[in-house]
Amino acid sequence: MTNKKFYVTTPIYYPNDIPHIGHAYTTIAADIITRWHKIKGKEVFFLTGTDENAKKVFLAAEKKGKDTKKFVDELAEDFKDAWKKLNVDYDRFFRTTDKDHVKEVVNILNKTHKKGDIYKGVYEGYYCVGCEAYYTEKDLENGYCPIHKTKTELMKEESYFFKLSKFQKKLLELYEKNPEFISPKSKRHEIINRVKEGLRDLSISRKDYGWGIKIPFDKSHVVYVWYDALTNYYTATRKKGKEKFWPTDVHLVGKDILWFHAVIWPAMLMSAGIKIPKKIFAHGWWTFNKEKISKSRGKVINIDELISIAGVDSARYFLFRATPFGDDGDFSEKTLIDRHNNELADKLGNLVSRVSTLVEKYDVEKTENKLLKKLNLKKIEKLFKNYEFDKVLNEIFSFIDICNEYIQNKKPWETKDKKILYELKESILKISELLWPFIPETSEKITKQFNAKKIKKGEILFKKI
């Protein structure tokens, strides 16, 4: 194997409230990718964490009357708990208040400053605290943020600027030379067109309001939270033993924050003379019963709610089975339960239960596995490489259908044919391996059951709801 290491990241989440399904989506995706590469024998570095030096975080703490650091300490634990409950096995939980991070942000700012890519000016325009982003009047909808639909802040303030405009040509070259740098394709064109329209320099500091990393060459300013946050991906690889993971193989992000990752982040790195990540993949957004997920309107699914519907594995399965990873999807309890009943219980659960019962009774006898040849592994590999998770699962479940039909046709309960049972047993083990990234808990149960010296009918894997 040529490349034995793999580095995957999720965005670092604002700890201004507890995690919900949107955060879980990217984080489980990163877990799936991690497990997949582990099966392939790679050494994987999976990074997630919290983006703490944000104004919205500061304001949320203030609203609760809490000390900001104490507030983020508590919420960071909530995120860690959530990932534990969802069986997400990350390597580092990154917090932008971590010491090594502050040091690295300062380091990159100094490098960029020395290059002459930072200058002092006045920022005049709009700011949405929800997005932690700057807007011009024409971006807004009647003065309101196009994403949050909330009133934006009109600002006029001394600020340091990063010469983003200088990198237009270089960025376009990067996209041209690396057609997969921005994925999926549809999103790539959007970004390229916007970059072609021209880039404005980016305000990267605010007058110190009591929270955030100080600008090293002017302590009366704090670093703009996105400049700070993006750096996390690099900081994490400055630790001993982790250097080899840079550049990132894939940054997973939601479509709303693609611009920051595909435009601002590579420009920051170009200026600081650091290698550029290999891929930014933008996934779609979940709505809830066709409505935008919104806390204020009570349309939000937190992690406990998500798990309580049909268990962890069914939730993980549903999120990646129902909708292509790059598209928007609609979440409803009913559709999750339908998939749980019709696919996990009726197809997978049934196959495992029938075969284990028969093997317990009649045993197996080694033979050439013709059944397994019907599984198109090459196709699955290719689909996975493009993060077409829904199609990967479709392929695996088509094979599960084939296995169920095979039992129906071969009737091993009548023939007591141990060779047929061997083929089925081995096929189930392969299915279980392929499903491990998606439904790890169930997969581990199946693998243990079918690798045992004496295979026995086990407990029901998915109880129907």
In the complex with ligand MSP, the residue whose CB is nearer, 18 or 293, is: 293
Neighbours of 177 (CB within 10 A): 8
- Annotated active-site residue 23? The verdict is yes
Positions in 290-349 near ligand MSP (CB under 6 A):
293
Decide if residue 14 touches ligand MSP (CB under 6 A).
yes
CA 284 to CA 298: how far, in whole Å? 21
Decide if residue 25 touches ligand MSP (CB under 6 A).
yes
> Nearest 5°: phi and psi at 153?
-95, 130
- Annotated active-site residue 189? The verdict is no
Out of 44, 76, 223, 257, which residue is the one contacting ligand MSP (CB under 6 A)?
257
- Annotated active-site residue 261? The verdict is no
Decide if residue 184 touches ligand MSP (CB under 6 A).
no
Draw the binding track, 193-232, toward ligand MSP (x: CB under 6 A; -: no contact): ------------------------------------xx-x
Min dist CB 12 to ligand MSP, Å, is: 5
Closest C-alpha among 448, 441, 445, 460 to residue 353: 460
Decide if residue 253 touches ligand MSP (CB under 6 A).
yes
Q: Please, which residues bridge with residue 283 across strands?
A: 254
Out of 7, 13, 126, 462, which residue is the one contacting ligand MSP (CB under 6 A)?
13
Out of 184, 254, 277, 349, which residue is the one contacting ligand MSP (CB under 6 A)?
254
Helix (H) or strand (E) holding 146: none
* Number of residues assigned to the chain: 465
Positions in 29-88 near ligand MSP (CB under 6 A):
51
In the complex with ligand MSP, the residue whose CB is nearer, 14 or 161, is: 14
Q: Where does residue 321 rank: exposed (0-12), middle (13-18), buried (19+ CB within 10 A)?
A: buried
Draw the binding track, 345-384, toward ligand MSP (x: CB under 6 A; -: no contact): ----------------------------------------
Q: Do residues 348 and 400 touch, judged by C-beta distance below 8 A? A: yes
- Residues 107/109/114/117 CA torsion (nearest 10 deg): 150
Q: Catalytic residue among 20, 37, 55, 340, which?
A: 20
Q: Catalytic residue among 114, 239, 292, 448, which?
A: 292
Q: In Å, what is the CA distance from 367 to each residue of 364, 375, 420, 424, 453?
A: 9, 17, 9, 11, 18
Q: In Å, what is the CA distance from 212 to each residue of 68, 172, 226, 268, 311?
A: 10, 32, 11, 19, 39
- Annotated active-site residue 166? The verdict is no
Tokens of 72: 């983020």
Q: Do residues 71 and 61 touch, judged by C-beta distance below 8 A? A: yes
Q: Which residue has the tokens 């034995």?
A: 4
- Annotated active-site residue 403? The verdict is no
Per rule CB under 6 A, count of chain residues that contact ligand MSP: 19
- For the annotated catalytic residues, the residue numbers are 20, 23, 128, 131, 145, 148, 292, 295
Residues that bind ligand MSP (CB under 6 A): 11-14, 22-23, 25-26, 51, 229-230, 232, 253-254, 256-257, 285-286, 293
